[in-house]
Structure 1
Amino acid sequence: MSIAPALVPFGAETAEWIPGGPYSLTRSVGTLQCGAHDPAFIVQGPDHWLAFRTDQGPVSLLLRQRGSLNDCVIQGSAWGPGAARALEALPRLLGGDDDWSNFDSPAFRATLPELARKGRYLDPGLRLPSSGRMLDTVARAVLEQKVTGIEAKRAWRYLLTRYGDTAPAAGVAAPAGLRLPPTAEQWRRVPSWDWHRAGVDAKRSATILKAALVASGLERLASRQGEAVRAGLRSVPGIGVWTVAEVVQRTHGCPDSISVGDYHLAAYVGAALTGSRTDDAGMVELLRPWAGQRQRVVRALYASGFRKQAFGPRLTPEDHRGR
């Protein structure tokens, strides 16, 4: 894997990353997008636009995949004060630190359930990205606590549109509405009535505000690993094991963290591996043989196309904004 200079479009700073094996940009970085209408992550055809902040300032980042699944180059073009820093971290963001070689070894593959083997075969270009963006990811994960995906995505879109800054200008090619997630100070400025309008209850908004108060400490966790990261995240009141797992999957590309406490995951894993739904304890026991690779196993199961049987109506979002 390597990173090299490339042609500069629209006055941007640009670099290219060569995965050195099968790679899918959409599948790999897609987990960083909070729904199809995420103002900080806009996809237009092959163009993936991200807006975020670095320690050198904000950046608008355009990602494009050129070539085939098995022989491709990822081009990153960046605008704004944080452009150089974003390109420096480009391989890590794209999953360059994510090593599937042990998972793909014949010995390990032989231990996997058939659905996981099928999923990995169907999705060989998947890498787990490491964004390193702690506060942004914490805020998003907290918004997703104990609500439907529709509610969480709407809240994220509303709050970013209202309180996030416009992303650095990126020429005529930039999509309209590209926004930066709020800074810690901007999160603290959100008044109670706008949390209410966003459909965010007092418990979740309080957790985000507490995270914003210790934002500098959270950001330092990006350079740490393992239990130090989890302990640092859990030190924020309102952040538990589910939120920690959701965060480190995206900020650190953790190959083992599974979202214990998720509304659907345990039932899904149980149905995929045994044909019967299970609870969190049952899921942990079922995935025990693949400790260290459990998140990869879960992603492979999803990639297989397996869907558990649905019983009864879906959870209906509640709208408290008019109350």
Structure 2
Amino acid sequence: MSSTRTLAPPERYHFGASVRPLVVPKHDPCGRFTGDDLWLALRTPDGPATLHLSRSKTDLTATGYGPGAEWVLEHADAIAGLRDDLSGFPALAAAHPLVERLARTFAGVRLPRTGLVFRSVLRAVLEQKVTGKEAHRAYRLICARLSEPAPGPVELHLPPDPAVIAATPYWVFHPFGVEQRRTQALQRAALVADRLERCADAAEATTRLTALPGIGPWTAAEVVRVAYGDPDAVSVGDFHIPNTVAWALAGETRGTDARMLELLAPFVGHRGRVCDLLAHGGIGAPKFGPRMPIRSFARF
């Protein structure tokens, strides 16, 4: 059984750039993006579900499968980024010519909002202090081996149940390439997942997340940017973003977190959106050092 809803995107809406961040690059056991189609498996408050968003020339068609089908249809517009409010951003963007230009160029990009916290916690914790390749490998293995198939006509896995993550011994995660520190942080969040899902807004979720050992401002920002579509969430502590912001907004090849926040101050309310625009524009600071090495924790 499935249910369908038709959505009307705004003018110049860019489907791919808006929803692609919801799926791990190359292969995601819980999602699939193929240009004009997004398939996303979710654990909703009403039960397992799969959402299919299909893009046509004029609209989006949302189809829900599984016990949580009505929930995903109710939230389909938010997941597609159609509830993202840019009304006050053009005036702020005018504070810097580059930001103003990028805001016009990527005016069709919207921030998605899933309304689901632990789904983003899993990915963000795994991405702490490691390369994307390492984090995505661990994510794929955990989702494929600690979860079950999602409802619907495509072969997807649901994101792992927090109760399963909390109850799984550490040594199970080790062959996935996840060391004890990240495993413990993930399991602490899993133990309070119900409370996290009930947070009223991004501010409350940030407070609750950063109160957990092993979860700091970077992880919390990565979570609330997707779960709540928070346009102001800045990933303080990131390896690259402070340099990117310093280079783009001040012509400085290197920047600290403090300098990044100083340069982003004119854009308060949309600071995370500005960082995303720099990424969409392919802007990065000059590179002087070697890349972070890929390690295998499973061999330690």
Structure 1 residues 21 and 45: CA distance shift in structure 2, 3 A: closer
Distance 1:114 1:198 in 2: 45
Please, what is the CA RMSD of the aligned residues?
Answer: 1.5
After superposition, residues 66-77 of structure 1 pair within 5 angstroms as 66-67=56-57, 72-77=58-63
User: Please, which runs of 5 or more residues in structure 1 have no aligned partner?
Assistant: 1-10
* 1:130 matched residue in structure 2: 113
Secondary structure at 1:95 match in 2: coil
Once the 2 structures are TM-superposed, how far is the Cα of residue 38 of structure 1 from its aligned partner? 1.2
Q: Is it true that 1:287 corresponds to 2:264 in the alignment?
A: yes
After superposition, residues 1-323 of structure 1 pair within 5 angstroms as 11-67=1-57, 72-104=58-90, 107-111=91-95, 113-170=96-153, 174=154, 176=155, 178-221=156-199, 224-276=200-252, 277-323=254-300
Distance 1:188 1:229 in 2: 19
Tell me, yes or no, if the aligned pair for 1:115 and 1:300 is still in contact at 8 Å: no
Could you list the per-position Cα deviations for residues 57-87 of structure 1 after superposition, in whole angstroms to 9, with x for gaps in the alignment? 11111111111xxxx3111111111111110
Distance 1:146 1:218 in 2: 23
Q: Identity percentage over the alignment?
A: 39
Once the 2 structures are TM-superposed, how far is the Cα of residue 92 of structure 1 from its aligned partner? 1.5
Distance 1:134 1:27 in 2: 21
Distance 2:118 2:202 in 1: 18
Could you list the per-position Cα deviations for residues 137-186 of structure 1 after superposition, in whole angstroms to 9, with x for gaps in the alignment? 1111111111111111010001001111101132xxx2x3x111111122
Distance 2:3 2:257 in 1: 46
Once the 2 structures are TM-superposed, how far is the Cα of residue 226 of structure 1 from its aligned partner? 4.5
Count of residue pairs the alignment pairs up: 299
Distance 2:126 2:27 in 1: 15
User: Please, which runs of 5 or more residues in structure 2 have no aligned partner?
Assistant: none
Tell me, yes or no, if the aligned pair for 2:49 and 2:65 is still in contact at 8 Å: yes
Tell me, yes or no, if the aligned pair for 2:93 and 2:267 is still in contact at 8 Å: no
Q: Which is worse superposed, 155-164 or 45-54?
A: 45-54
Q: TM-score, normalised by structure 1?
A: 0.88
Tell me, yes or no, if the aligned pair for 2:23 and 2:33 is still in contact at 8 Å: no
Tell me, yes or no, if the aligned pair for 1:120 and 1:304 is still in contact at 8 Å: no
